[in-house]
Structure 1
């Protein structure tokens, strides 16, 4: 069980340090509480909004924190579930008469479901050869490679289903007969349709097979990416900002394991940096897409979906980014990542 003090963070800490602490605790909220007294709260959503305003990971968290967080006095603790549901928040600090946090009530501990719904279709690009997972994919298509007791594609669908998605379409090619057979026999409370891609058309080209079939915004996902996120919130963000496409991106922190040398114009050393650290957003391969994109796809064009996005971006269309934490993204596209995903889902170190 987590201790209250584990969720405290100093106001001078950086946003990057806050992201790391959120990942370490597995929670979605931290508190600035000098000597235990509640001063501010910082959620993963606050950090996301901070980045969207142009903030950077090296800035202090007080620029992103909420200095007017909701709380309850000990005497009113019985109202916690009502407050959590009314305000759709994940955690509520309980304060004594001095304003000291004595406890934190979490929505998930009270069977409170504050997730937003996203009852829109999901399209999964599932036709690739999965060469990075060879030799597994010599026997099984990538969507059916098991992570624990379930194939990755089924795990992904289960995550979307939890947010209200009930209509799935898989664009299939390699070993598609096996994929169709598996989902035909699977007991499920959602539908799975298929679009046959006879020639490999890249991660975006296969969308042309769905012309005339998509009548609402939809999630578009790779078949090897598992996100621990609020898909309802992603969809609401997409609508609120009027985006044609919204790309879900994970914040990544990477330390180069070598000393880096920069060359000058004369062949000499211009600068040296020992194991520099890099912070960047990377594409998770999950998107919200307006149906217009499908109708405007060029028939038979082989193209990656990032290239489709770039085409619209250069044309001045609204393309947005929904940032998530690194710990919210699991990618089994490579052998070592497949094992890490399995261990994480089974709560192994």
Structure 2
């Protein structure tokens, strides 16, 4: 129902980003207490605000589009469809004579054929899962099972990850494996999934990026690289669109994290004298989730058979004048299973979903 797309202009930006990702509609209708439309807020509006240095605690009224396309009740559907195509928007609020939101039209229902065709662009985009680590932070569990095969709900962690990409039409996966690799391969042999799984075998640990050199010249266009303990509940298609629109060589998917320190923080100068005190400060951070979109051409920069992290590749691309950008998602859209506390939180979130 469109009612869950309503939000207040006083709501903070981070909460609005959570709401956008939970509704999966990519738009919110900003209304006053009487339901009158004040504007629309898209995930693109929020990301531009964040990437421009805007405060996550800022208000929606500062960020939203105050002159959106609106529809009057009873307008012709073909006219609405043409307008939405021309404006490249995914939703249009329907208002009454008093300007109150009474309904909404969505691109996915007006233009089902076009949206299905559009989403198929991810079919030829391979996903590489870095699944070779020992998962020592999950010991003793990982003394028996490799980290990709730990249970997450009714499936293994790696199935949950791969299935999330399959929803977007991805059907080619590469698993970079080392620790207990035979167990991982045997599991997928028994599973017989309806997508293709190929393996990159590491004879020795090669870090978070070293094994990618095996794909140099074997993949083209863009590729997605993800850790095997990262579950992202966000729009992969929108991520790839952003990566291509910005003409990035690498796009790092980051999670917005906010921290409140419950103490007064003291700043001192070299001689130990207090120079400032900040009472219960608030900090906003962009945290690397472990999911990346890469132009396949940058894989050629990775040395063969050497321990190498993706952070080193990022530094190398930047030193050569390449473009490295970020794509922010909310904290709730990033589920981490890499250590026990985070794993337990992820299981709890999945059970309550």
2:103 paired residue number: 103
Could you tell me how far apart the structure 1 residues matched to 2:96 and 2:153 are? 45
1:108-119 matched pairs, under 5 angstroms: 116-117=119-120, 118-119=122-123
Query: In structure 2, do the counterparts of structure 1 residues 222 and 80 end up closer, same or farther at CA, with 3 Å as the change threshold?
Result: farther
Q: Deviations over 1:264-320 (max 9, x none)?
A: 333233233333211011111111111222222111221211121122112221111
1:53-132 matched pairs, under 5 angstroms: 53-76=52-75, 86=85, 89=89, 91-104=91-104, 116-117=119-120, 118-119=122-123, 120-132=125-137
Query: In structure 2, do the counterparts of structure 1 residues 16 and 234 end up closer, same or farther at CA, with 3 Å as the change threshold?
Result: closer
Are the equivalent residues in 2 in contact too, given 1:9–1:30 (CA < 8 A)?
no
Q: SS in structure 2 opposite 1:320?
A: strand
Among 190, 193, 201, the residue aligned to 1:196: 201
Are the equivalent residues in 2 in contact too, given 1:80–1:92 (CA < 8 A)?
no
Could you tell me how far apart the structure 2 residues matched to 1:90 and 1:128 are? 40
2:244 paired residue number: 239
Q: SS in structure 1 opposite 2:74?
A: helix
Query: In structure 2, do the counterparts of structure 1 residues 68 and 313 end up closer, same or farther at CA, with 3 Å as the change threshold?
Result: same
Could you tell me how far apart the structure 1 residues matched to 2:306 and 2:20 are? 42
Could you tell me how far apart the structure 2 residues matched to 1:169 and 1:85 are? 38
1:178-197 matched pairs, under 5 angstroms: 178-197=183-202
1:262 aligns with 2:267: yes
Could you tell me how far apart the structure 1 residues matched to 2:45 and 2:29 are? 12
1:31 aligns with 2:32: no
Among 249, 271, 277, the residue aligned to 1:272: 277
Are the equivalent residues in 2 in contact too, given 1:50–1:64 (CA < 8 A)?
yes
Could you tell me how far apart the structure 1 residues matched to 2:227 and 2:83 are? 33
Among 276, 286, 305, the residue aligned to 1:281: 286
1:346 aligns with 2:351: yes
Greater displacement, 62-71 / 169-178: 62-71
Could you tell me how far apart the structure 2 residues matched to 1:326 and 1:56 are? 15
Unaligned runs of 5+ in 1: none
1:313 paired residue number: 318
Could you tell me how far apart the structure 2 residues matched to 1:158 and 1:81 are? 34
Instruction: Tell me by how many angstroms 1:14 deviates.
Output: 4.3
1:19 paired residue number: 17
Could you tell me how far apart the structure 2 residues matched to 1:111 and 1:332 are? 37
Could you tell me how far apart the structure 1 residues matched to 2:347 and 2:76 are? 38
Are the equivalent residues in 2 in contact too, given 1:126–1:142 (CA < 8 A)?
yes
Q: SS in structure 1 opposite 2:327?
A: strand
Are the equivalent residues in 1 in contact too, given 2:71–2:80 (CA < 8 A)?
no
Could you tell me how far apart the structure 1 residues matched to 2:303 and 2:201 are? 17
Instruction: Tell me by how many angstroms 1:200 deviates.
Output: 0.5
Q: SS in structure 2 opposite 1:18?
A: helix
Greater displacement, 17-26 / 189-198: 17-26
Instruction: Tell me by how many angstroms 1:24 deviates.
Output: 7.7
Q: Deviations over 1:3-27 (max 9, x none)?
A: 45x72212x5543453355578776
Q: SS in structure 1 opposite 2:37?
A: coil
| Count of paired positions | 346
